[in-house]
A = this chain, B = another copy of it.
Amino acid sequence: MNPQTTPAPELTVERSGSVTTPKGFRAIGLAAGIKDSGHADLALVVNDGPLQDAAAVFTSNRIFAAPVQWSRDATADGVLKAVVLNSGGANACTGKDGLTDSAMTAARVATGLDCGVVDVAVCSTGLIGMRLPMEELLAGVDLAVEQLSPQGGPDAAAAIMTTDTVRKMASWTSPQGWSVGGIAKGAGMLAPALATMLVVLTTDADVKPLALDKALREATRVSFDRVDSDGCQSTNDSVILLSSGASGQAPLPDEFTAALTAVCTDLAMQLLADAEGSAHDISITVRHAATEADALEVARSIARNNLFKCAVFGNDPNWGRVLAAAGTTGAAFEPERLDVWFNGVCVYRQGAIGEDRSRVDLSGRAVEVVVDLNHGEHQATVWTNDLTYDYIKENAEYSS
């Protein structure tokens, strides 16, 4: 038996779509000169309405960046007109001056769009502990406002990349005509994630702020929150959802949550596939747990185990390291009833050595680990990457 664990959303997501797929949105990405490289580094996403409802989730790290502080306050009333994002600098651990910089950025956008300053969210990503070059950034904002386009989503996706090697976009359109779109950046350091996962989601469905918030929390809980690339949690992570209502349609909450979850899950898989220096995408599913929290605790413990991650890099189905990681948790299970599967081969069964590990083929990029606790009815999946020479190269040589 080969357990089915890969996420199989019923909804087919398009990777050519983005934040400008839903009606009522314009966007732009350009090079403002924040990055020394001259690459695009400033993005703007604008909601032209008729509604300007919004919801957002941010890093739970207590050390959070100035733009997170700004945007958390700006989103509190459930209304946003725009999101301005920059790469090339995280504006984190920059004290009071950093918060002033975020406010000035929002103010410049507000001036350009003729909206309230607290209707503009700000996101930043890049090196921690450095001030942003505000002159370049503010001039870039003026240019961005001028160049906004209903086809600008892909350029916005490109402008928020740091160590990403590809831009991340996704959308889903309902048969009724309303849609959900998104862009994301983050190459490793997800957890929710250091050096920043930034996501902007848009919809033209008519969904009120409270329902938006509920749907966003449910969608991120089972998508971005379960990508645990390296267990490190960022100071800047932000996921912001804007609703224009421009389709004139109001889907049922479950319909909307399913669409949002599908787009978020697809973006999360794109982040995973582009994680810094990784050679394998690993899904870890814990089945038959007493509770979903137990399943999640065991899955995360395995996902964060460096020895396990090194073994996968070495194409070694090392179930001993899987068990040792499970054994450090408080989840309900009896060690002698555990099963462990690697890519469909049951290498450990009911507390004893199972099929020969040589039968497992880990040469492909996808690795599927299943741990069956045989103790209940709940399950959870966490996604991670292996630990590789390139991960170390990237993180020893690139400051964040």
Contacts and interface: CB of A to CB of B under 8 A. Distances in A.
**Size range of the interface on A?**
35 or more
B395 A311 contact: yes
Interface string A346-380: 00100111000000000000000000000000000
A271 B233 CA distance: 29
Contact of A392 (B61, B64, B328, B388): B388
A120 to B, nearest CB: 25
Interface in A226-258: 230-235
Given A92-B320, A321-B194, A348-B93, A327 B392 contact: no
Interface string A298-322: 0000001111001101101011110
A185 B18 CA distance: 55
Contacts of A128: 318, 320-321, 323-324
A29 to B, nearest CB: 25
A129 interface: yes
A127 B307 CA distance: 13
A387 B387 CA distance: 10
B129 A327 contact: no
Given A93-B320, A189-B307, A64 B327 contact: yes
The main secondary structure of chain A at its interface with chain B is loop
Nearest to A338: B63
A400 B307 contact: yes
A392 B392 contact: yes
A399 interface: yes
Contacts of A306: 230-232, 306, 387, 391, 395
Nearest to A329: B62
A8 interface: no
A268 interface: no
B63 A310 contact: no
A326 interface: yes
A312 B353 CA distance: 39
A397 interface: yes
A95 interface: yes
A95 B397 contact: no
A194 B64 contact: no
Nearest to A316: B399
B63 A396 contact: no
Contacts of A352: 93-95
B235 A320 contact: yes
Of residues A318, A348, A351, A395, which shows the largest number of chain B Cβ atoms within 10 Å of its Cβ? A395
A393 B353 CA distance: 26
A3 interface: no
A335 interface: yes
A389 B231 CA distance: 19
A216 interface: no
Nearest to A396: B314
A325 interface: yes
B335 A62 contact: yes
Contacts of A353: 93-95, 129
22 contacts: A61-B327, A62-B326, A62-B327, A62-B328, A62-B335, A63-B326, A64-B327, A93-B351, A93-B353, A129-B348, A230-B307, A232-B306, A232-B321, A232-B325, A233-B324, A307-B395, A310-B396, A313-B396, A314-B396, A314-B397, A389-B389, A392-B392
Interface of A: 60-64, 90, 92-95, 127-129, 189, 194-195, 230-235, 304-307, 310-311, 313-314, 316, 318-321, 323-329, 335-336, 348, 351-353, 387-389, 391-393, 395-397, 399-400
